[in-house]
Structure 1
């Protein structure tokens, strides 16, 4: 039986795709991923299945049905599948499906490289997926080393949360937005400033 490929496609730009990811994707019959992910491979002769956040269980079930039909199926996971990616989702929604994981470059790795943090010394956290910060986040933050955080959709909400839980409004954080894209920006601001700033959802925050 074929295994479902879960392929890490990096932070967004084609230069961060691995050769293994490209080969696997180009030899697939079905590609499943966000529209942004699929657009990277519009030249591939494969059935394209758009993975919408509200329809993930239904789409995963569809992908498994294609696999059961004997087709080569690749699920595209932005960044690396193993960090706030599709590996956890597949294990939860279809635990009996055999998978083949092709790792990719995550935005966490790229942020660490841009800011020159050895990321094996950092504390890696995620509240990705639209969840608001909770007390659990406060417990996981480590003030003895850099915290590299994949935030929820609202940086301002994260900044307000930190201020409300004892961090000074003058505490500096680094925001890496749209890493690898032409309009990438990396800014260092205070929590007080971030509370009133508008960033997109494609961000990494270093606290």
Structure 2
């Protein structure tokens, strides 16, 4: 049986790695390190730095290119599933080629493997292909934690629910009923623009935890355009962007 360790490494600050994450990476036989294109070299560079400078041992590092998801697929989930199948095939080949029998392979996952990430879904595909895996998840600090900490706000209101959703659902279905707080990640369409009303407050952040972190907060009706511009400028400057925001209705 191959042991697969999915290790959350936080949202851009190596100081946020847990001792458990470091120990797990150090004990791996192989660390798979994804490359996601020239525009996201900083993400690969952080993983390389962790492997070379923060670990006391030196597991074998195997880098691989991430397949590109076909954004033109008519049905969003069909495109995502095809993309995940391609990733599972790459993982299967790399494990067969580089991981010793009954060995341990680790992947460093941005944020947390169990929140708004698909590494666990891809691992399930390997099991469905007949690969005998023992999966371990090492939780990490998430962008949602970083956002609320950076803005110094609690995640929820007193006794209030929080819904983590997508920009697409926010645009298509509007504000979820009986939910005072909504969190949205990686919303390239800035879907908060589709919401109306003067009772909404937004806390937005991009590159949270990284040196280039940007934060904007205020009444949505007042700062919406500012966020749209800041996001576009940051993406143009860096070639990529990761952002997240929290929306809350006034009592």
Q: Report TM bin, short chain.
A: 0.7 to 0.9
Matches within 5 A, 1:123-202: 123-127=162-166, 133-134=168-169, 138=173, 141=176, 144-152=179-187, 154=188, 157-158=189-190, 161-164=191-194, 166-168=195-197, 172-188=201-217, 190-197=223-230, 198=232, 199-200=234-235, 201-202=241-242
Aligned length in residues: 197
Q: Which residue of 2 aligns with 1:101?
A: 137
TM-score normalised by length of structure 1: 0.77
Deviations 1:60-94 (A, max 9, x none): 22344244633320011111100022223322454
Match of 2:66 among 52, 62, 68: 52
Q: Which of the two has higher C-alpha Rg?
A: 2
Deviations 1:176-195 (A, max 9, x none): 11112122121126223333
User: What are structure 1's unaligned runs of at least 5 residues?
Assistant: none
State whether residues 9 and 21 of structure 2, in contact with CA within 8 Å, keep that contact through their aligned partners in structure 1.
Answer: yes
The answer on 1:203 being equivalent to 2:243 is yes
The answer on 1:81 being equivalent to 2:116 is no
Pair 171,126 (structure 1): closer, same or farther in 2 beyond 3 Å: closer
TM-score normalised by length of structure 2: 0.65
User: What are structure 2's unaligned runs of at least 5 residues?
Assistant: 35-43, 69-85, 236-240
Query: Deviation of residue 23 (structure 1)?
Result: 0.7
